[in-house]
Chains A and B, each alone.
Chain A
Amino acid sequence: MRKLFAAFAAVAVALTGSVFLAPISKAADVSLTMYSWRVEDKAFYEDVIKDYTAANPGVKITYQSFPSADYQTILMSAMAAGKGPDIVHVRAYGALDQLVVPGYLSPLAANEIKGLSKYPKDALDSQRGFSDKRLFGIPFAYQSLGIFYNLDYMRKAGINLPPKTYPEFVAQLKKIKDAGLQPLANGGSTHMEQMWGTIAPMFYGGTDYYNDVVAGKKTFNDPAFVKSLEAVQELFPYMPANATAVNYDASRALFFSGKAAFFLGGIFELGYFRAQNPKLKFDFMATPPMTAGGKQFVSTWADGGYGINAKTSNRAESLKFINYLASKSYGQRFTEKIAQISAVPGVVIKDRQLNKAVSSINKGGTPYIMLVGFRYKNPTGSALLQTGLPNMLNGTKTAKQVADEVTKGVATWFAPFAGKI
Chain B
Amino acid sequence: MTITVLFISFFVFMLLGVPIAISLGLSTLLTMVFATNLPLGSIITQSFTSLDSFSLLAIPLFILAGVLMSQGGVSKRLLKLADVLVGYLVGGLAHGTILASMLFAAISGSGPATVAAIGSFMVPSMANKGYDKSFAAAVTAVAGTIGVIIPPSIPFIMFGIAGQVSIGGLFLAGIIPGIIIGLALMIVSYVIAKKRNFPTEGKFPTFMEVVKAINYAKWALLIPVIILGGIYSGLFSPTESAAVACMYAAFIGLFVYRELNFKKLYKVFLEATLVAVPVNIIIGFSISFAYLLSIERIPAKIATFITGISENLFITMLIISAFLFVVGMFIDTIPAIVILTPILLPVAQGVGMDPIHFGVIMIVNLAIGYVTPPLGVNLFVASHISKVSIERITVASIPFIIAMIVVVIILILIPQLSLFIPSVAL
Is B truly associated with A?
no
